[in-house]
Amino acid sequence: MDVSFILDSLNDKQRDAVAAPLQNSLVLAGAGSGKTRVLVHRIAWLMHAYQLSPYSIMAVTFTNKAAREMQGRIEELVGVPPQGMWVGTFHGLAHRLLRAHWRDAGLKENFQIMDSDDQLRLVKRIMREMNIDDTRWPPKQVCWFINGQKDEGRRAAHVPDSHDPFSKGMRELYYHYEEACERLGMLDFGELLLRAHELMLTNPPLLRHYQERFRHVLVDEFQDTNTIQYAWLRVMVGEQGTITAVGDDDQSIYGWRGAKIENIHNFTKHFKDVQTIRLEQNYRSTGHILNAANGLIKNNDDRLGKELWTDSGDGEPISLYAGFNEQDEARFIIGIIKKWRDEGAALKETAILYRSNAQSRVIEECLVREQIAYRIYGGHRFYDRLEIKNALAYARLALDPNDDGAMERVINVPPRGIGERSISTLREMARDQGCSMWQAAQLIVDQAIMPARATNAIKGFQQIIDDLMTTVQQPDLSLGDIFEQIINDAGLIPFHEKEKGEKGEARVENLKELIGAAGGFSWNPEDEAFSSPLMAFLDQAVLDAGDAQADEYQDAVQLMTLHSAKGLEFPLVFLTGVEENLFPSKMSFEEPGRLEEERRLCYVGITRAMKKLYITYAESRRLFGSESFNSPSRFIKEIPPQCLEEVRLRSQVSRPVSMQRPDYQTEKARLQNSTVLNNFKAPEVNVNMGDRVKHPVFGEGLVINYEGQGPQARVQVNFDDEGSKWLVLSFAKLEVL
Ligand code: ATP
Ligand code: MG
């Protein structure tokens, strides 16, 4: 069979990697050099040149979106969907194994996955039951501790004993948490991995089965695997299988979540006869973008060391924009996007990247004002929204009324007269009797231990859940019908309709969207892992981090944190909030190694851009409820100045930044003094951009913009209490503070 189509569009080194013999291999290469492309082509090669069945291939990616993309690209290349191949994230694949072998894994058949909110709630509940002071043991920190231990593959029993009372207490809480999860049949994200790993270790015949099945395992973004993921890979590959891992040490950005760069160093020790391949040509970005990335990452020590090059020419320099504040920064970005759109570019070619999720709000508001469609990855996920989680909780109860987490969530939503007192009676009864809250409710009703009104309210809730349990058993109802019924029976729509304003409206729309999403959900009845489409849907809702409000194919600007941008590429990229204390984040100054990780994150950000990159920062920023004045990030200074040009305010002319390393304080002063635009003076009032001013009616604010000359001159002031307003300067009676 002619397999040249697989190799045609590759360079020599990529070809070496794709057409390598059936042996372990490690592809180490910088951003945009085609690592993911190599993986996809390697899979096609294994199927065509080595005649391996798709059934014997497992590919691990970092996000669900990447997994879907990979599946699409394989299909495109080989012409048919790769039936039987496992492509997914570590969590997704572990989950699949556990669903298929729940009994061997010591789980309940209908085990539930907890997201981080559920986890936090459970920890709080346990602490309440144990009367533990949550100021001394902040629940979030407890979650952090537990997750960290699981990432290292340690159960409570494996955590070393310590004399330090704090560590002792954490360990104790971990014990109780483990016990509660076991009892409730709940698994957190870390547990999926740990349990799947243990399942393989404790069940040799099963392990043999999978080792024989998956003859070849491929891993993308290998630099970000943590201890337990790496251990699981080693076990799954075993002595017979082979592994292809691709990664880039300069893009390791999950150290804070337990990722181990050492896994790259150990790879050649732990796997036999590893062929290591390096790729150096970048196909993604222009010369300026690439030189900026190279110049920046040079400042890190301990690199495996590689330089990327491109033959695609320098392209446009990177534009640097200093906003007066975060509003001005957002406005500038949206202005550029509109210009791009008007010139015919698609919105989805644009990404706005930020260090912290909270930064998105101002940008979102600006996009909404300008009626530009956008989509957020991660962060406020659709399935994370309150109204959606409530509807899903009802669905969970319909499958298993003993799901205490779901019961606590919705027993009184919408309000039905089951107050906090009744709920704690239920909780106590459940604890005393060692049963679920659902069972406790029945006991309470039977024994009539509550006042009649409270008992009746509980009966009402039982009736709803009983009805829903019947609904979900009906074979002829589609998943969309089931959700419609759930949402109606639970009374969620009238409940939110009563809420005032847009919020309630949006919630109702989201619930309708959920019915739509359920209706469009495709479920493969042959998939051995799930016993019903509803169960598959509920699990996907928890696991899928990628699905946000706009649908995937709609043309929309893409907003995401730098972490979620890994592996992706966009023609136009905005790297925003590039300021000291924000990026690098304040926290990174405290712990050794974290600043380097921030720099790698910046490297990831820069290398997402294909044609044009904007770097923006704000001189003052309101974030997390307070205002700060940060200097531009050190990362900007680390970019070779010849790759950068500064954007002048309100004029489309740009000029190169001085060739000397700019000292940013003087650079700013120079800009403000030398540019007429930046130093606007009206006839009588001397108001500069960035000044704080006082207005007799509106109070204090910051000058963020101006328009016109002489008597027509207007300024835009962002008032602390009144928001932003345009004022005619000669009438406004502004006082400069
Ligand atoms: P990252 O480190 O960001 O994940 P990567 O190394 O995985 O990057 P890819 O995403 O595989 O890089 O490739 C980057 C871009 O370059 C893609 O658009 C890809 O299609 C293109 N590309 C890779 N190799 C070639 C090639 N030989 N010819 C043409 N285009 C290529
Ligand atoms: Mg990649």
Show me where the domains of the chain are located: 4-101+194-280, 112-184, 291-381+553-674, 382-543, 680-736
Residue 639 pLDDT level (bands cut at 50, 70, 90): very high
Taking phi first (over 0 means left), then psi (-120 to 50 degrees means alpha), and beta for anything else, what does residue 394 get?
A: alpha
Residue 707 pLDDT level (bands cut at 50, 70, 90): low
Ligand 1 atom 4: the closest Cα is on which residue? 567
The pLDDT assigned to 711 comes to: 57
Burial (0-12, 13-18, 19+ Cβ within 10 Å), 31: buried
Taking the C-alpha atoms of residue 394 and residue 7, their distance in angstroms, rounded to an integer, is: 51
Domain 112-184, CATH number (from 3.40.140.10, 3.30.450.20, 1.10.10.160, 1.20.120.350):
1.10.10.160
Q: Which of 35, 37, 42, 76 gets mutated to test ligand 1 (max ligand atoms within 8 A of its CB)?
A: 37
Interface confidence, given as ipTM, is 0.99
Using one digit for the tens of pLDDT, what is the confidence trace for 575-590?
999 999 999 998 888 8
Q: For the chain, give the number of residues.
A: 737
558 contacts 544 by C-beta, under 8 angstroms:
no
Residue 552 pLDDT level (bands cut at 50, 70, 90): low
The CB of 608 under 6 Å from ligand 1? The reply is no
DSSP for 398-462, please give it: HH-TT-HHHHHHHTTSS--S--HHHHHHHHHHHHHHT--HHHHHHHHHHHT-S-HHHHHHHHHHH
Which of 298-307, 458-467, 508-517 has the highest average model confidence (pLDDT)? 458-467
Question: Tokens 């791009």 label which residue?
Answer: 340
Which of 60-69, 335-344, 498-507 has the highest average model confidence (pLDDT)? 335-344
Q: What is the mean pLDDT of the chain?
A: 86
Q: Of 61, 71, 112, 251, which is the active-site residue?
A: 251
pLDDT, average across residues 598-606: 97
Ligand 1 atom 24: the closest Cα is on which residue? 34
CA 466 to chain centre: 36
Nearest ligand to the C-alpha atom of residue 29: 1
**220 is annotated as an active-site residue:** yes
Residue 528 pLDDT level (bands cut at 50, 70, 90): low
The answer to whether the annotation marks 30 as part of a ligand binding site is yes
**646 is annotated as an active-site residue:** no
The CB of 9 under 6 Å from ligand 1? The reply is yes
Under CATH, to which class is 291-381+553-674 assigned?
Answer: alpha beta
442 contacts 487 by C-beta, under 8 angstroms:
no
Nearest ligand to the C-alpha atom of residue 284: 1
pLDDT, average across residues 712-722: 74
The pLDDT assigned to 259 comes to: 86
CA 600 to chain centre: 17
**CATH code for the part of the protein at 680-736:** 2.40.10
Q: Which of 10, 18, 36, 249 gets mutated to test ligand 1 (max ligand atoms within 8 A of its CB)?
A: 36
Q: Is the pLDDT of residue 501 over 80?
A: no
The answer to whether the annotation marks 32 as part of a ligand binding site is yes
- In angstroms, the first-to-last Cα distance of the chain is 79
The CB of 247 under 6 Å from ligand 1? The reply is no
The answer to whether the annotation marks 35 as part of a ligand binding site is yes
**251 is annotated as an active-site residue:** yes
Q: Which of 222, 277, 283, 286 gets mutated to test ligand 1 (max ligand atoms within 8 A of its CB)?
A: 283
Using one digit for the tens of pLDDT, what is the confidence trace for 114-136?
887 788 888 988 998 888 888 88
Residue among 639, 28, 530, 563 nearest 290 (CA): 639
pLDDT, average across residues 715-732: 74
Strand partners, 309: 281
The answer to whether the annotation marks 345 as part of a ligand binding site is no
- Say yes or no: do domains 4-101+194-280 and 291-381+553-674 share a fold: yes
Using one digit for the tens of pLDDT, what is the confidence trace for 165-186?
888 899 999 999 999 999 888 8
Measured over the CA atoms of residue 619, residue 625, residue 626 and residue 630, the dihedral's sign is negative
The CB of 76 under 6 Å from ligand 1? The reply is no
Using one digit for the tens of pLDDT, what is the confidence trace for 656-696?
333 233 343 443 443 344 333 333 333 345 777 777 888 87
Residue 15 pLDDT level (bands cut at 50, 70, 90): very high
Using one digit for the tens of pLDDT, what is the confidence trace for 69-78?
899 999 999 8
Atom of ligand 1 nearest to the CA of 29: 6
The interaxial angle of helices 479-490 and 452-473, nearest 10 deg, is 170
The CB of 604 under 6 Å from ligand 1? The reply is no
352 contacts 574 by C-beta, under 8 angstroms:
yes
Using one digit for the tens of pLDDT, what is the confidence trace for 195-222?
999 999 999 999 999 999 999 999 999 9
Q: How far is the CA of 610 from the centre of ligand 2 (A)?
A: 14
The CATH superfamily assigned to 382-543 is PCRA; domain 4 (1.10.486.10)
DSSP for 60-107, please give it: EESSHHHHHHHHHHHHHHHSS--TT-EEEEHHHHHHHHHHHTTTTTT-
**CATH code for the part of the protein at 4-101+194-280:** 3.40.50.300
The CB of 33 under 6 Å from ligand 1? The reply is yes
Ligand 1 atom 14: the closest Cα is on which residue? 32
The CB of 291 under 6 Å from ligand 1? The reply is no
Q: What percent of the chain has pLDDT over 90?
A: 58
